[in-house]
Amino acid sequence: MRKKRVRLQMVESCYRLEYLLYLVMADESESVVKDYIAEGQMFAILLDSDKVAGVALFVEESEGVIELKNIALDPGFRGLGLGKQVINLAFEIFREQGFLKMIVGTANSSIANLAFYQKAGFRMAEIRKDFFLKYPEPIFEDGIQAVDMVVFEREL
């Protein structure tokens, strides 16, 4: 089977709510997503056929630092290497924009995400204790409550 290739297409502000269901796949609180959906740069993740496979949202965190705020792939497209392609394309885009580092945070309970970001070359940088306790509803993954955010970073 031919490997699927992805491309990123900028999503204008007026169309972002159309991607809300994708964003909520990666961040379970719709109210939290709605707080940041208008920020930064959002990209639709498109396959060769222009089929939407997911979405990625990046926000400038500080001078020279871009944060991958949300990345979500439709469950039917997970495990195919598309997420890593998205990350690599984003590295190119943001390096060209003058960013020096990318950060991303995920829950202590997101075992697959913890592995994914390390495989993509990110290193653990900090723990934001009690981050997910601010969410309106508790989040559980793999029988573990999401309490702390693990922040990863990678030089661009």
**pLDDT category of residue 95 using cuts at 50, 70 and 90:** very high
Say what the pTM is. Answer: 0.92
The CATH topology of domain 6-155 is Aminopeptidase (3.40.630)
Label residue 2 by pLDDT band (50, 70, 90).
Answer: low
Q: What is the pLDDT of residues 129-155, one digit of tens each?
A: 999 999 999 999 999 999 999 999 999
The residue ranges of every structural domain in the chain are 6-155
Of 61, 146, 134, 138, which Cα lies nearest the Cα of 104? 61
- Asked whether the predicted pLDDT for residue 1 surpasses 70, the reply is no
pLDDT reported for residue 131: 96
Give buried/exposed letters for 101-133 (b at 16+ CB in 10 A, else e): bbbbbbbbbbeebbebbeebebeeeeeeeebbe
Distance CA 49, CA 68 (A): 25
Q: Are 84 and 71 in contact (CB under 8 A)?
A: no
Retrieve residue 15's tokens: 């169309």
pLDDT at 120: 95
- What is the average pLDDT across 14-33? 94
